[in-house]
Amino acid sequence: MAYNGKERRKYTRISRTFIVSYRILKEVDNYDLTQTKNISTGGMLLTTNRLFGPGTLLAIDIRLPFLIEPLNLKGQVIDSREVVKNLIYDTHLELIDADEETKEVINKTVVYHLKKAGEQK
């Protein structure tokens, strides 16, 4: 079901797949591997293998183009919904505590892919 209401997002979001490892912030060495469905400077949508409650804090390592090392981020779950019964969930995250340099790296990635998509039309 498509959302037809007013756009509430503060940042431009792109639909791109990037490799992500994530874990509940308080759990050490309990990473799962997944990918993004979309990303913006303020957050991302991940496909996860479990349902997370709103407010859950996740440690996220994401690999972006032009970076050798992954970005280490912290995200707070805004929403998590079942897509495939007991198997796949769409988990919406808001990035928290990201410094300006990290936000700029994400923004450059978004802008690059927007320009690239515009050139292909």
DSSP string for residues in 70-104:
PEEEEEEEEEEEEEETTTEEEEEEEEES--HHHHH
pLDDT in tens, 46-83: 999 999 999 999 999 999 988 899 999 999 999 999 99
pLDDT in tens, 11-29: 889 999 999 999 999 988 8
What predicted TM-score, i.e. pTM, was given to this entire model? 0.85
Q: How many residues does the chain have?
A: 121
Q: Where are the domains of the chain?
A: 19-119
Is the distance from CB of 98 to CB of 64 less than 8 angstroms? no
Identify the CA nearest to 77 among candidates 63, 94, 89.
94
Q: Please tell me the CATH code under which domain 19-119 is placed.
A: 2.40.10.220
Confidence of residue 8 (pLDDT cuts 50, 70, 90): low
User: Quick one: tokens of 54?
Assistant: 């709103």
Q: Is 44 helix (H, G, I), strand (E, B) or coil?
A: strand
Question: Measured between alpha carbons, how far is 39 from 112 in angstroms, rounded to an integer?
Answer: 13
